[in-house]
Structure 1
Amino acid sequence: MKNFNYEIWIITLWLTCVLVSCERFVEIDTPIHKLDKETVFSNDETAISAINGIYNELVNSTFSGGWNSSVTVLAGMSADILQPIRTTHSIFGPFNENEISSSESPDASANLNLWSSAYNIIYMANSILEGIENSNRITEETKKTVEGQAHFIRAFTYFYLANLYGDVPLILTTDYRRNAIAKRIPIDLILDQVKTDLDISMNLLNEVEDYKNLERTNVNRFVVIAFYARVSLFLKEWSKAEELSTKVINQTGKYEILDDLNTVFLANSKEAIWQISPIGSNGGGTQTMEGSIFIIHPTLPFISSIKLKDDFVSNINSNDKRLTYWIGYHNRVESYYPHKYKDRNSINNITEYSMVLRLAEQYLIRAEARTKLNNLSGAIKDINVIRKRAGLLLISDTKSELSKSELMDYIMYERKYELFSEWGHRWLDLKRTERASQVLKSIKPLWQDTDLFYPIPEEERIKNPNLTQNDGY
């Protein structure tokens, strides 16, 4: 036990060093994390602790934690989903207006935090992959499991960086000298690396189908398959997207569409494919950060800052159960808010985990892929699964024949109202389907086509002269 405690202390020290050294990956002075790598990966327990450290960082990271500078919030502002309660809000206003500054402003700081925290996650994954590669003291089973999860988390993070910023540096090492001068590379090459990491992860986790301790917070084979289905959809690889989403949908003993909308976002719900636990968050609470930031305070609404856009709410079908169960209303500020998470503030009362991947998205992925493959009847069946749960008329009950274009409109509606306030789905959907200008120009007076990507943070460009800027900034 004494030995094990020492090694846990070492892993904690190592993770702290990694986070400090990659806070701004372009200004790392010394590779201090390398001092402990041999000790950190000296046995199975410490290697597992290292990958658990990344999971813990996901809940605390600006990028993934669900708080005010997360993908979920900022991308929701950039689309037609969220807006600030106060129009003068210094962080959210520019994202809502798609007029983000690259330097010296609160929104620029939010953008920098989003960027740098994503690279922190990547840096941690790289460090684990290097440690695993250089260790001969870990069993083969543990090596495969830890390495597979690290490859997935790196792929997951790069997917968002590419979709938010376009061309970005591809950092695959902990070598601070190389990282400090890394250039941006084309988005297509970034997404190629995402696919490579997912292929490796899927191969390494091929036999890992179960969740550890029944907690849906670790990456297993089906988490990788589900995310790969999304990536394939974005890359317009329709057959692969259909094939992969079908593999997940067919796991009926593991995943199901829950009829009760109030149970979907509970911890370890059967609709969840991958969740992030709030345990260990810097705030000390046991509620999700999404619950904290989205639910308008019941008695002190002036301390809340986010609401749903009025048009988003007014355009939802009045019979849609999602209007009743997933959208709240606060009388004092006359504002609607996302209410998928019900717990705003709690200590030692864990009821919900942050949802990252869930089964409903897989049906929508397959519906879109089938539409593109001219399997319209199959696509309608998939869409109807989501509409039935929402209490809406099935498409077959309202339309006898649909064109591909009309069916895509149904899919985009369902994606908008099913996946709102989750990981920026709507913002990414508008961009990948080339609908962003069409949809946003009419509601955002300052919209320009160059707003499709966020600016590269100026602070990073000052430190690394090889970083070019996106058009329009």
Structure 2
Amino acid sequence: MKYIKIYPWIIGTLLLCVACEDFVEVELPNHKITSETVFHSDETARSAMQGIYNQLFNTSFANGGIQSVTFLSGVSADNFQLTTNVQEIREFGQNNITADNASNLSLWAGAYNVIYMVNSLLEGIENTPDLSEDVKRNLEGEAKFVRAFSYFYLTNLYREVPLILQTDYQQNAVAPRDAQAAVYDQIVLDLYDAIELLPETYTTGERTRPNRYAAMAFMARVYLYVGDWQQAAAMSSQVISQASLYELLPNLDDLFLANSREAIWQISPLGWGGDFTHTREGNLFIQNATDNTPVALSNDFIEVWEDPQDLRWNHWIALFEGEGENLYYAYKYKVSYDASGGAITEYSMVMRLAEQYLIRAEARARMGNTAGAIEDLDKIRERAGTPLLAVVQPNPSPDELLNLLLAERRKELFGEWGHRWLDLRRFENAVPLEEKEVADWQATDWWYPIPQEERNKNPQLSQNEGY
């Protein structure tokens, strides 16, 4: 496995987190920063954590670019069509990923890079007496939140993965895969710690550092995925009830702005470290005459928009009229490119309030609370300007209700963090994938292959079935 040999005392050098994806061959810096220096003051310790957030914007799995969860898992599902001939990307669209696929390797390695940095920070703050108790609590809560977040995607893309909780390079290099149940247990432990440690407010005023409700929101998603409907509903209800912090914004163009009131957690383009101020999602998805954008919305996805009055169609989907072909593209982010060095207007959205209504709706539906599920779905539909289910379909069967929910999730969350791919697997619905024109679908394709390069280095890593 490709683990970074970065010792805790190096973390101070990552405060700006240069956008280097391969950290394997890290040379010792000429200007060594000891752990005592990094964790000697509250200010430098906070900067070390900010470096991890900057790295989330730069590392493959979280950055919203062409090797991210958002892109690769989105392409694996049925919302997108590719406009590129790059084979390693096309393998994701064809659901026929090879074990030596370089994008798959970057996805895996990027998540473990972040986890290693988090473990390094946790060890650093544990071993210093110099930090104030409040800062220590906040940093531990934030770090454990980020670790839980990273493992959530690893286990949902690769199923069984090595559970690495420390920085011992020799142990990490030969770590075997752990059962998915064990990974989920650690995610829950980390999130409960984060809920206990983090404050209710956003300490800097920026929604880029998670608060207690961000941890609760992510816990609601985790409980949904493991089938604990009661806890999923309870966690999402606590987040939804925080009207002083969150609301479903009526103007869909405002959702993805920096620190929007619908945002629960965002990642800032500050991680560019230069004059760029746009998100990678905006740069990736927006079609124009000068950029070679590798993806557009699929014909199948365009056909699901039966109601032309749906505000999401009018605000989040745009048409590019090219030579010989018209392409629809995701237009949630409005800024494709900005090198002005001015104010950052959009942040990458990781979690937002609408998902919490959808989580609670599904949890209620699976517990037999049809009225409650419809009430939550209608919050989303009302904002979108579509007919309310309470009026047009107030008594759906349990299967009809789940299908309605899956369709609503598809429309609301497209182009965000691979929700559609993970939802199809959760609902055990492979039909859309079997019907993709370019796909070679097999039941084993629900899980990505463990990168062959990692297995070459670590003989303890087994491979997923079908690869």
Write out aligned runs for 1:31-180 (5 A).
Answer: 36-86=34-84, 88-103=85-100, 108-180=101-173
Kindly tell me: are residues 244 and 15 of structure 1, through their superposed partners in 2, closer, same or farther at Cα, counting changes over 3 Å? same
Cα deviations across residues 326-372 of structure 1 (Å, max 9, x unaligned)? 01111104111100000001122421110000000000000001111
CA contact (8 A) 1:21 1:28 kept: no
Partner of 1:115, secondary structure, is helix
Give the TM-score normalised by structure 1: 0.91
How far apart, in 2, do the equivalents of 1:449 and 1:361 lie? 28
How far apart, in 2, do the equivalents of 1:28 and 1:392 lie? 53
Match of residue 246 from structure 1: 237
- 1:39 is displaced (CA, Å) by 2.3
Aligned counterpart for 2:409 among listed residues 411, 415, 418: 415
- 1:90 is displaced (CA, Å) by 2.1
Query: Are residues 1:291 and 2:282 paired?
Result: yes
Partner of 2:379, secondary structure, is helix
Match of residue 324 from structure 1: 314
- 1:396 is displaced (CA, Å) by 1.4
CA contact (8 A) 1:23 1:116 kept: no
Match of residue 4 from structure 2: none
Aligned counterpart for 2:183 among listed residues 178, 183, 190: 190
Match of residue 432 from structure 1: 426
Match of residue 362 from structure 1: 356
**Which one-letter code corresponds to 1:392 in the other structure?**
T
How far apart, in 2, do the equivalents of 1:74 and 1:306 lie? 11
- 1:471 is displaced (CA, Å) by 0.8
Write out aligned runs for 1:394-473 (5 A).
Answer: 394-435=388-429, 437-444=430-437, 445-473=439-467
Cα deviations across residues 264-292 of structure 1 (Å, max 9, x unaligned)? 11111111111111113167410110000
Match of residue 266 from structure 1: 257
- 1:442 is displaced (CA, Å) by 1.8
Partner of 1:385, secondary structure, is helix
Moved more, 444-453 or 72-81: 444-453
Match of residue 4 from structure 1: none
Query: Are residues 1:210 and 2:201 paired?
Result: yes
How far apart, in 2, do the equivalents of 1:70 and 1:451 lie? 18
How far apart, in 1, do the equivalents of 2:19 and 2:347 lie? 24
Match of residue 3 from structure 1: none
- 1:22 is displaced (CA, Å) by 8.1
**Which one-letter code corresponds to 1:254 in the other structure?**
L
Partner of 1:91, secondary structure, is helix
How far apart, in 2, do the equivalents of 1:13 and 1:384 lie? 48
Query: Are residues 1:385 and 2:379 paired?
Result: yes
Cα deviations across residues 64-94 of structure 1 (Å, max 9, x unaligned)? 01010000000000011122113x2323211
CA contact (8 A) 1:31 1:176 kept: no
Unaligned runs of 5+ in 2: 1-8
Partner of 2:270, secondary structure, is coil
**Which one-letter code corresponds to 2:391 in the other structure?**
D
Partner of 2:62, secondary structure, is coil
- 1:35 is displaced (CA, Å) by 7.3
Unaligned runs of 5+ in 1: 1-8
Partner of 2:463, secondary structure, is coil
Kindly tell me: are residues 121 and 270 of structure 1, through their superposed partners in 2, closer, same or farther at Cα, counting changes over 3 Å? same
How far apart, in 2, do the equivalents of 1:425 and 1:21 lie? 24
Kindly tell me: are residues 315 and 19 of structure 1, through their superposed partners in 2, closer, same or farther at Cα, counting changes over 3 Å? closer
- 1:16 is displaced (CA, Å) by 8.6
Give the TM-score normalised by structure 2: 0.92
**Which one-letter code corresponds to 1:123 in the other structure?**
Y
Match of residue 367 from structure 2: 373
CA contact (8 A) 1:19 1:124 kept: no
CA contact (8 A) 1:44 1:139 kept: yes
Partner of 1:329, secondary structure, is strand
How far apart, in 2, do the equivalents of 1:177 and 1:83 lie? 42
**Number of positions where the alignment pairs a residue of Structure 1 with one of Structure 2:** 453
Partner of 2:66, secondary structure, is coil
Query: Are residues 1:345 and 2:305 paired?
Result: no
- 1:38 is displaced (CA, Å) by 2.5
- 1:422 is displaced (CA, Å) by 0.2
How far apart, in 1, do the equivalents of 2:17 and 2:352 lie? 33
Partner of 1:355, secondary structure, is strand
- 1:211 is displaced (CA, Å) by 1.3
CA contact (8 A) 2:151 2:183 kept: yes
How far apart, in 2, do the equivalents of 1:227 and 1:216 lie? 14
* RMSD of Structure 2 on Structure 1 (CA): 2.3
**Which one-letter code corresponds to 1:147 in the other structure?**
E
Cα deviations across residues 92-144 of structure 1 (Å, max 9, x unaligned)? 211000111111xxxx1111111101000000100011011111111111100
Query: Are residues 1:308 and 2:297 paired?
Result: yes
Match of residue 6 from structure 1: none
Aligned counterpart for 1:335 among listed residues 327, 337, 340: 327
CA contact (8 A) 1:23 1:117 kept: no
Kindly tell me: are residues 192 and 429 of structure 1, through their superposed partners in 2, closer, same or farther at Cα, counting changes over 3 Å? same
Kindly tell me: are residues 349 and 469 of structure 1, through their superposed partners in 2, closer, same or farther at Cα, counting changes over 3 Å? same
**Which one-letter code corresponds to 1:471 in the other structure?**
E
